[in-house]
Structure 1
């Protein structure tokens, strides 16, 4: 923790007591704090660059306009000495990037469709008040409840203006300029073609593109055009790769996977005017009919047959069949799985099943 701005016990703005250092991104440090006035916990964010006061203040003002269940709420803005801070709603869980790295590397199409729908609702609410995110990526999406996968909230609207300017400067430069900016490198896989061409004039359709690129990643486990400087010409060509065959070979998943993929390709049209608006995407996603039954993790304990077996899980023994596994055709004793369970006799039954990391 050397070099961080605050340690536990520090008081910011005579009100917020730092309790935990959460981490940092390319542009800001993040802390868990206790609001001593309202007796609640919150998140405190401060830019690494203390000269960015004007941009940070404007970003905070913009983000405070957005009030929606799929957006982390901006609660306060504080100036304390020569530092300035954004106070944001505390979300108990983890970001989507962490979820994909530590729990499951891909989501089944039902979960991917649910994520897309909720992100569309959050962005639609922001677009209605003329707030554009410009840096939507897995690390800026919080999974409420972490492993319980109970909801999703978009974060970091509060640094939108700062991110826009840093990304714009990096993209306008050469390869070295781009790769030296952590913010730009993280955003690049989700950038729309017009963002690369003219960041200053990229608007709401660029956020819709980002939803498509992010959903492609959670569904397939891969970014649509890779990452790094070499992704730039592929993004500008805007030819979305097809779904890998393992994702469509199982008839229990193929129709829904194709339906989600159709939405992805609609979001990732090269012409911004050809993409749906966030509101239109919300309406289309309402026809996906995904399940909201809670997910749980389990471990395969028995697999006496090549097609079926049982997992141990918090809800008890769960019957598992290989036909219920997304993007895989086998299960083995000791494997960790992520699943939705439903009543069955004599054991509960799992569908869908995704192999865990």
Structure 2
């Protein structure tokens, strides 16, 4: 049965209501189930039903999802092979919108909001690391975010790796890297199995993107980007865009996690998350202090001043005060 004709049918007890997305190996549907309610139903493409590697990756995603239980990771509810021999994976239906779309619409985001989002993603990733799983494909497109509740759900363990797996159990051939080039750590480009530090690099890239609306490398083609990742340092946070300025504490945290050498990053994802949260809190406190100190003189000026992602004014008194953030 063609994948398009699944809508309106029942697969392994799931009534398929509509198509919500697709990737290179599978298609995702919204479906209803008598016990699980509304779910996201992931179905392996028919042409890959007999591809041993594709099937192994699909089933591994299901197993990893079942292995890691965390409030910020979509729950794996069910998986297997239907009577029609279609491989399927049913996961929790996550509300909200894809983080990438939210950031494009609402960004650049403030350090405070980025901290709220990042801490949840990092908590989920740390839980995976604690049981020996490296995600390897962390990016805004793999995160659901509900702006109303500020709740985050991490998706897609499709190319995750077990750090304890023997070489002959790995599904990625030596010399081939997996992941998304814009968010992948430099060490992954060698094709060797990466560790938790690679996920930290990807998380730092996500933070950079949410704060600035751009990425730490400017390559316009895969070849150029590949070369920059291997040979050049990332663009520092305060040089990402001319109209944005960040406290040195926030910049230092992000750039440390973007270090080319894994050993130069934070010891663990949770350490990166805590450092970013502390820097963001310092930023918020400094902003509040400045706002309070000038409130008494606000009656002497008229009109609102333009502000950046963290509320820094680009002119007038706040523009002069921006130097305090850079030094502190």
- TM-score tier after normalising by the smaller chain length: 0.7 to 0.9
Contact 2:29–2:42 under 8 Å retained in 1? yes
Report 1:1-357 matches (<5 A). 4-13=3-12, 15-38=13-36, 40-48=37-45, 49-50=48-49, 51=51, 52-80=54-82, 81-101=84-104, 103-145=105-147, 148=148, 150-160=150-160, 171=177, 187-198=180-191, 200-226=192-218, 228-237=222-231, 239-242=233-236, 243-244=238-239, 245-248=242-245, 254-255=246-247, 258-276=248-266, 277-287=268-278, 288-289=280-281, 307-308=303-304, 322-323=306-307, 326=310
- Higher relative helix content: 2
Contact 2:57–2:158 under 8 Å retained in 1? no
CA distance in 1, matches of 2:174, 2:274: 32
Following superposition, the deviation at residue 37 of structure 1 comes to 2.7
Q: 1:110 to 1:283 in 2, by over 3 A?
A: closer
SS for the counterpart of 1:72 is coil
Count of aligned positions: 277
Q: TM-score, normalised by structure 1?
A: 0.69
Following superposition, the deviation at residue 25 of structure 1 comes to 2.4
Partner of 2:293: none
Following superposition, the deviation at residue 5 of structure 1 comes to 4.3
Contact 1:72–1:154 under 8 Å retained in 2? yes
Following superposition, the deviation at residue 326 of structure 1 comes to 4.8
Q: 1:34 to 1:265 in 2, by over 3 A?
A: same
Structure 1: give runs of 5+ residues left out of the alignment.
172-182, 249-253, 292-304, 309-320, 331-357
Q: TM-score, normalised by structure 2?
A: 0.75
Following superposition, the deviation at residue 115 of structure 1 comes to 2.2
Contact 1:193–1:238 under 8 Å retained in 2? no
Following superposition, the deviation at residue 229 of structure 1 comes to 2.3
Structure 2: give runs of 5+ residues left out of the alignment.
162-169, 285-300, 315-328
Contact 1:247–1:327 under 8 Å retained in 2? no
Following superposition, the deviation at residue 165 of structure 1 comes to 5.3
- Higher relative strand content: 1
Contact 2:22–2:28 under 8 Å retained in 1? yes
